[in-house]
Structure 1
Amino acid sequence: MAGKLTTHVLDTAHGCPAAGVEINLYSIESPSDDRTLITQVYTDRDGRTDKPLLADGELQIGEYELVFGIGSYFAKTQSNLSKPAFLDRIPIRFQIADINVHYHIPLLVSPWSYSTYRGS
């Protein structure tokens, strides 16, 4: 069984999925901390991507970073935000230890806060 990496974004300010959020996935080289872009995707109307970010043997042990372009999303959906926005790009760094499991990393976000966890 090959593992996979998925994500989704929930807009907690409006109580709905966040559509059209840019997501960049990077691999991180240790110890140099250099990033290599693996893929760039956008969330659909359900706040999800149309396919896993990594699947079918692409998932490797190592360090990764998801960067969510949340500033432009809230600029389109909420007119009363300060400029510049409090949150713009949200990076989430994480480690893959087992390439045979499903890693799901959701982002729950408002214009002023966010949280994440390892889902299933």
Structure 2
Amino acid sequence: MPGLSIHVVDVAGGRVAQGMRVEVRYAEGEGCLQPLADGPVSASGLLEDERLARRFAPGRVQVRFHVAHWYRQAGSVLPQPPFLDVVVFDFGLADPGAHYHLPFKCTPWGYSCFRGGA
């Protein structure tokens, strides 16, 4: 199953980051990044958008995770400016037939994002 999936977990709280805004932009080949998906993380921890479940031509993807806003909404007290605000993760899609799964694990002070298996 080709496509892209994004799973967001608050490892500081041991829960999925339900409600965190995630933006996805895509550029085929060397083109300019264009908006692809934008929405909140679901109760399952996924950015659920049917536009991510398709075959992508080789190109670039940029994902923006709105970390500080989510933690503030969840009641965390963060400094101003926050250590992490909007985390931007850029990566390449080389194989149109592959599924690219991005587990994003975060705290207010750090994150990990990588290509996982899904």
Q: TM-score, normalised by structure 2?
A: 0.87
Rounded to whole Å, the distance in 2 between the matches of 1:106 and 1:10 is: 8
Rounded to whole Å, the distance in 2 between the matches of 1:81 and 1:56 is: 37
Listed as ranges, the gaps of 5+ residues in structure 1 are none
Q: Do the aligned partners of 2:29 and 2:57 also contact (CA within 8 Å) in 1? A: no
Q: Which moved more, 1:85-94 or 1:41-50?
A: 41-50
Q: Do the aligned partners of 1:6 and 1:53 also contact (CA within 8 Å) in 2? A: no
Rounded to whole Å, the distance in 2 between the matches of 1:53 and 1:110 is: 28
After TM superposition, list the pairs within 5 Å mapping 1:76-95 onto structure 2.
76-95=73-92
- State, as a whole percentage, how many aligned pairs show the same letter: 28
Residue in structure 2 matched with residue 73 of structure 1 by the alignment: 70
- RMSD over equivalenced CA pairs, Å: 2.0
Q: Do the aligned partners of 1:4 and 1:52 also contact (CA within 8 Å) in 2? A: no
Rounded to whole Å, the distance in 1 between the matches of 2:88 and 2:72 is: 18
Which secondary structure state, in structure 2, belongs to the residue aligned with residue 86 of structure 1?
coil
Q: Do the aligned partners of 2:28 and 2:58 also contact (CA within 8 Å) in 1? A: no
Deviations 1:13-66 (A, max 9, x none): 10111010111111247768x432112121012221234552233x12111111
Rounded to whole Å, the distance in 1 between the matches of 2:98 and 2:67 is: 28
Distance 1:108 1:53, change over 3 A: farther
Distance 1:52 1:5, change over 3 A: farther
Residue in structure 2 matched with residue 64 of structure 1 by the alignment: 61
Distance 1:52 1:109, change over 3 A: farther
Q: How many residues get paired?
A: 117
Q: TM-score, normalised by structure 1?
A: 0.86
Aligned residue identity for 2:37: T
